Chain A
Amino acid sequence: MSNVVALRHGKVDLALHLLREGWGRPLLLLHGLGERTPAQPPASTAAWPGPVYGLDFTGHGASAIPVGGGYTAEVLMADVDAVLRRLGKVTILGRGVGAYVGLLIAGSQPTLVRGVVLTDGPGLVGGGIRPGTSHVPAVPPGVPGPPDPHALAELSRDVRPPDYAIEYVRQIMQWSELDTPIAVAAVVRPEWLAAVVQEPGVVECPADEALARFAEVQ
């Protein structure tokens, strides 16, 4: 089953897929860089009692591809905010860049995001903790996507300083009602994520265990 809910973020039409019906708080899947919402929810979500949704980020899947790129993780975070304005409280399961974006939106909407699970996937690492050698982020011509080649070029180089990621963890811990609202299931630990797991309120556990715990939270 796949029902698509149309959302708008700025000038971009976004596709939010309802993957499975259910009762209770929705689970929102955020895909990795270059991916799209899967046709079926992943196995780790099998026990989730609520509905399961997946958002296609700007330039990915069934969402629109804007002209001329200009991607940032913060803009993808605002994509997710458009979902929260529709669905209200959610739990988030993010892969790759979707894990990083999941952390950002959980820090920006700490009362609406009731638990975030960070898992491995494309775009988890980002572009390091400081800018590398300067470059013009060009894309090969004639490849329209999806995924938007600008997204692949720009979001594989975005800088992720650990102290920037920690700012979001602290936002979550300041205002979330959960004791441990951040679960890290990712095996790979880029510097931003290695810093995140050192913070209070962050647990390391498999995604299905984390979701089982968040499912018990009202």
Chain B
Amino acid sequence: MTAEAATEAIAPPDIGPTVRSYPGARRPDRSRWVTTSGPRIAAYEWGDPDGPTIVMAHGGFDFAGTFDVLAPMLADGGGYRVVSWDARGHGNSEHTALYSWGADMRDAAAVLDAVSPVEPVVFFGHSKGGGIMFDLAHALPHRLTHMINLDGLPSKNNWPDLADHERTKMLRSELEGWLEHRARTATAERRPDTIEGLARRRQRMNPRLPLEWLEYLVTIGGEEVVDGDGASFGWRWKLDASLRFGGFGPWRPEWSMQRLPGIGVPVLGVLGLEPETMGWGTQPADVIPNAPPVFRFEALEGVGHFVHIEQPRLIADMVLSFLADHP
């Protein structure tokens, strides 16, 4: 059986009611599987299926459900068809043996081909998703009309300034950590907990986000663990346990920023200036010299890395006015 035939035999990605709610959050209106890049990728849509399309890429360790507040605002406020997907290994998408930037790009292109094979669309990305959409904009410049980037403008390494011998020791510890992690991934599983417990653990990485929102996310990006008799062991993130925050390799954050000046469509770039573990600490002075020809740039004081979750109304209005101003 081909992957596509096998996928047709299973239900579309879950967009059913959640056991927790959050003010303004709304599950997608439609969902489907995209299999053309290899793994089964869960794609979602909000709004008018015939409206102009915005394709949104989430950040690392997130999933499309993190747009459950912003996407409905764009769909309802601008008549847009808003599309997002769970990256491989995240949310409802298939866990794979390997993960890489190039593979994420290929999955993104597969989703783009599935939802709008001819008509160019609005590219939108948060954090790592912003970097993926930057690269996709250069690889497929005929496929986008606008680019929107939410706190996905990495500019420099977060490495502390260390003497060479200290840096050598630090790298050794990273290498050992990576290999230990790889050695464990054959059997690794995420630890179950209560909804509140998982939300509190995530709050360590997302300290500015309300617990109520994180609990809502658990009920989308997590699943209840039930034994054969139906007894619950709690909830567990669906995220593949082989994914690891802070992977290493030759990649340099400034390479992503170097994609910005060459983007030929109107670009909206937003920075959240409050420092956060998952953010890059990029400052306006890092961005402004890289401005593309048509650029609206917003640096938000008092807002952290998850700008669209902390300030969804502000971001939605900013996006809608940007798109209206650049028809």
Q: Contact between B98 and A58 (Cβ–Cβ < 8 Å)? A: yes
CA distance A172 to B96 in the complex (A): 32
Whether a CB of chain B sits under 8 angstroms from the CB of A160 is yes
Q: Contact between A9 and B182 (Cβ–Cβ < 8 Å)? A: yes
Q: Contact between B186 and A69 (Cβ–Cβ < 8 Å)? A: no
Pick the most buried of A10, A58, A68: most chain B CB atoms within 10 A of its CB: A68
Q: Contact between A136 and B109 (Cβ–Cβ < 8 Å)? A: yes
- Residues in B neighbouring A160, C-beta threshold 8 A: 250
CA distance A11 to B138 in the complex (A): 33
Q: Contact between B168 and A108 (Cβ–Cβ < 8 Å)? A: no
- Residues in A neighbouring B98, C-beta threshold 8 A: 58, 66, 68-72, 75
Whether a CB of chain B sits under 8 angstroms from the CB of A138 is yes
Whether a CB of chain B sits under 8 angstroms from the CB of A167 is yes
Given contacts A8-B186, A108-B175, A167-B171, contact A133 B97 (CB under 8 A): no
Q: Would you give the shortest CB distance from A28 to chain B, in whole angstroms?
A: 16
CA distance A48 to B247 in the complex (A): 37
Q: Contact between B179 and A78 (Cβ–Cβ < 8 Å)? A: yes
Whether a CB of chain B sits under 8 angstroms from the CB of A26 is no
Whether a CB of chain A sits under 8 angstroms from the CB of B103 is yes
Q: Would you give the shortest CB distance from A201 to chain B, in whole angstroms?
A: 14
Partner of B100, one of A58, A85, A135, A154: A154
Whether a CB of chain A sits under 8 angstroms from the CB of B38 is yes
- Which parts of A44-78 form the interface with B (CB within 8 Å)? 58, 64, 66-75, 78
CA distance A160 to B107 in the complex (A): 24
Whether a CB of chain B sits under 8 angstroms from the CB of A22 is no
CA distance A58 to B100 in the complex (A): 14
Q: Would you give the shortest CB distance from B255 to chain A, in whole angstroms?
A: 5
Given contacts A70-B96, A78-B182, contact A134 B250 (CB under 8 A): no
Q: For residue B164, which residue of chain A has the nearest CB?
A: A170
Q: Contact between B106 and A108 (Cβ–Cβ < 8 Å)? A: no
Whether a CB of chain B sits under 8 angstroms from the CB of A131 is yes
- Which parts of B174-192 form the interface with A (CB within 8 Å)? 175-176, 178-179, 182-183, 185-186
Given contacts A68-B103, A108-B176, A171-B175, contact A10 B135 (CB under 8 A): no
Number of residues from A at the complex interface, CB < 8 A: 45
Whether a CB of chain A sits under 8 angstroms from the CB of B140 is yes
Contact flags (1/0) for A135-148 with B, using CB distance below 8 Å?
11110000000000
Whether a CB of chain B sits under 8 angstroms from the CB of A81 is yes
Q: Contact between A159 and B182 (Cβ–Cβ < 8 Å)? A: no
- Residues in A neighbouring B249, C-beta threshold 8 A: 72-74
Q: For residue B102, which residue of chain A has the nearest CB?
A: A137
Whether a CB of chain A sits under 8 angstroms from the CB of B288 is no
CA distance A167 to B259 in the complex (A): 26
Q: Contact between A69 and B172 (Cβ–Cβ < 8 Å)? A: no
CA distance A66 to B105 in the complex (A): 17
Q: Contact between A69 and B179 (Cβ–Cβ < 8 Å)? A: no
Q: Contact between A74 and B248 (Cβ–Cβ < 8 Å)? A: yes
Given contacts A108-B175, A130-B255, contact A11 B186 (CB under 8 A): yes
- Which parts of B33-60 form the interface with A (CB within 8 Å)? 37-39
Q: Contact between A9 and B186 (Cβ–Cβ < 8 Å)? A: yes
CA distance A157 to B101 in the complex (A): 12
Q: Would you give the shortest CB distance from A147 to chain B, in whole angstroms?
A: 14
Q: Contact between B100 and A72 (Cβ–Cβ < 8 Å)? A: yes
Q: Contact between A131 and B255 (Cβ–Cβ < 8 Å)? A: yes
- Which parts of B232-262 form the interface with A (CB within 8 Å)? 242, 247-252, 255, 259
Whether a CB of chain A sits under 8 angstroms from the CB of B205 is no
Question: What are the 3 A-B residue pairs with the smallest beta carbon separation, nearest first?
Answer: A68-B38, A70-B98, A66-B97
Interface pairs (17), CB distance under 8 Å: A8-B186, A9-B186, A10-B182, A68-B106, A69-B38, A70-B96, A72-B249, A73-B249, A109-B179, A130-B255, A134-B139, A136-B109, A136-B140, A158-B250, A161-B252, A167-B168, A171-B175
* Chain B interface (Cβ < 8 Å from any Cβ of A): 3, 37-39, 88, 94-100, 102-103, 105-107, 109, 135-140, 168, 171-172, 175-176, 178-179, 182-183, 185-186, 242, 247-252, 255, 259
